[in-house]
Amino acid sequence: MNSKKVAYFLMTLSFIMIVSGGFSSFVINLQSDRRETVKRMNEVSDVFEIFSTNTSVFEASRDELYNTILSNVYFESMYLDDVNIKNKLSNYENLLDQLKKNTNILNKLCDEVYYPKSDINNKCQNYKNIYEQAVNYFVSDINIYNSNVKKYNEYQKSIGSMLVIKEYSTKKTFIDYNGDKKFDGKEDH
């Protein structure tokens, strides 16, 4: 009888140890997942902050571009200002490329992930809209500039001048980055 009690005690002890080990493993994994989630939320927040700053710089550049170039196009000075204008447009495009880098990082952190904090989820939803608008604003602005260049070149040709300006070349096109079947920021002129 004594050996049955020992066997029963050992089986009970083994069962308790297995259950407590499983529970302990579950708690450890839960804590690890929680730390990883908090770390990813902090990364989203940090990258979105950089993205927001870069968006503000992009918007300021766009405003400056409009105030100095796109709203004040004069055929008399277009040829002389061409190099300066192309440099500004190139810098403007570089700012957009920086936003793309931030967007790629946010894609990795946000795609198919739901975080426990609503502000992080909002950031994950909003950056796509913001990026879509920025790209579409850029493409619209380049289209406006290139339209002015075409008009300038047609005018020069009509008066028999040999002056020709090349259009600004970019591979960027209108995008629907957030997948809503709309092109936010696309401006038709």
Per-residue model confidence (pLDDT) at position 127: 93
Contacts of 129 (CB under 8 A, 6+ apart): 177, 178, 184
DSSP track, the chain:
-HHHHHHHHHHHHHHHHHHHHHHHHHHHHHHHHHHHHHHHHHHHHHHHHHHHHHHHHHHHHHHHHIIIIITS--HHHHHHHHHHHHHHHHHHHHHHHHHHHHHHHHHHHHTT---SSHHHHHHHHHHHHHHHHHHHHHHHHHHHHHHHHHHHHHHHHHTT-----PPPP-------TTSSSS-TT----
> What pTM did the predictor assign?
0.80
pLDDT surpasses 60 at 11: yes
pLDDT tens-digit profile of 84-127?
A: 899 999 999 999 999 999 999 999 999 888 888 889 999 998 99
To 10 degrees, what angle do helices 75-110 and 2-65 make? 170
Token pair listed for 189: 């002129």
pLDDT tens-digit profile of 58-96?
A: 999 999 988 887 777 777 788 888 998 999 999 999 999
Domains, the chain, ranges and CATH? 37-158 (1.10.132)
